[in-house]
Copies of this chain bind each other. A is one copy, B any other.
Amino acid sequence: MKKFINTPERLTAELLEGMCAAFPKHLKLVKEKLVCRAEDKARDKVAVLSMGGSGHEPLEGFVGPGWLDCFVSGDIFAAPGPHTVMEAMRLLKRDAGVLLITLNHSGDVLSANMAKQMAAMEGIKVKEILTREEIRPTEGEEGRGLGGCVLLYKIVGAAAEKGWTLDEVCRVGEKFNTQMAAIAVLSEIATHPATGGQCGDMGEKEMEICAGQHGEGGGVRMGMMSAKDTAELLAGKVIAKLGLKAGDEIVLAINGSGKATLMELFITFNDAKKFFESRKIRVVGSHVGEMLTVQEAGGYQMLVAKMDDELKALWDAPSRTPFFCS
């Protein structure tokens, strides 16, 4: 492992400090692990909160008007403890309520569940949306939460900003959540930046689809393919999963996993968009870039959500955050 870092113990603290220092007009760091808006949202609007381990930069930074109010960071690949999540809930506590977005990973779910119990005891009004939009190789398998959460942040962030009630924000968020899908392709495995260890290994000419985030290895291995063939393979699975048909409208985003160059991501987006359009599925919103990385993992996640007029209005609503220019 060849990285510009300092002590492994302080990786997360330093990176969050650096992120907030680099974007002081957008972000402020509260209590070491809570990335919050530089200027708080009005208290009469629903607060939106998410959480997850670090090492997935810039996931912590989708905070700002029309986005999250706070992201609770854990340490490298480790969900934050229930107490830290609880701290964020206390900070955001308000009559309008708090929406927590949890990605379906064992640690996050365990932490969120305990934090919600504690919040209930303190009378904090919390609702939760659990994302598990990952497409798995076989039907019936439960998906994990991948980068689709970022698209969801945009939707519920916009709804909350408009002053919708917690029930309404939750309703539109759940609608979006059930209409989105993510599928990952992995070509190189990440290293854990604190231990230097690699999660699994990958042959010279191999790739893995449905690979999830860290290279846990729950996907399907196959030979490396061209950008176009890969994009079409993944897009085909998305179409099947979401039951997309001619006339449907989608948001399409390509999320780089870390090592993938922007060149690869743009080429892939281009191929994917053309494929959807050849099926008469219209791309009405899009993004390409790093949203949820896994260190220097190779490959990307294709993120797709089926849109309707209500969702499109939220997707297009103005917003401000360092890592997504709308």
Chain A interfacial positions (CB closer than 8 Å to B):
2-6, 11, 14-19, 21-24, 26, 54-55, 57-58, 185, 187-188, 193, 204-205, 224, 226-228, 230-231, 254, 258-271, 273, 286-290, 293, 295-296, 298-300, 320-325
Contacts and interface: CB of A to CB of B under 8 A. Distances in A.
A290 B256 CA distance: 12
A290 B262 CA distance: 9
Given A17-B270, A273-B21, A288-B22, A264 B3 contact: yes
Indicate the member of A19, A273, A299 with the most B CB atoms within 10 Å: A19
Given A14-B270, A320-B325, A322-B325, A263 B21 contact: no
A18 B269 contact: yes
Tallying the copies of this chain within the complex gives 2
Contacts of A262: 15, 19, 57-58, 290, 293
21 contacts: A3-B261, A4-B185, A4-B187, A4-B231, A5-B267, A14-B266, A14-B270, A15-B266, A15-B267, A16-B266, A18-B267, A18-B271, A18-B288, A19-B262, A21-B286, A23-B288, A54-B263, A57-B261, A193-B261, A263-B295, A321-B325
A185 B4 CA distance: 10
A24 to B, nearest CB: 8
In the A-B complex, the 9 residue pairs with the smallest Cβ-Cβ separation, listed nearest first, are A18-B270, A18-B266, A57-B262, A22-B288, A4-B227, A15-B266, A4-B264, A18-B269, A325-B325
A91 to B, nearest CB: 22
Contacts of A15: 262-263, 266-267, 270
Contact of A261 (B18, B260, B293): B293
A43 B118 CA distance: 61
Contacts of A287: 22
A23 B266 CA distance: 10
B2 A267 contact: no
Contact of A263 (B24, B55, B227): B55
Contact of A5 (B3, B4, B22, B226): B226
A204 B1 CA distance: 9
A290 B2 CA distance: 19
A303 to B, nearest CB: 12
B227 A5 contact: yes
Nearest to A294: B261
Contacts of A320: 325
B259 A296 contact: yes
Nearest to A26: B325
Given A15-B266, A18-B288, A187-B2, A261 B261 contact: no
B267 A298 contact: no
A134 to B, nearest CB: 19
Nearest to A227: B4
A4 B55 contact: no
A267 B11 contact: yes
Contacts of A298: 2
Contacts of A323: 289, 325
A259 B273 CA distance: 26
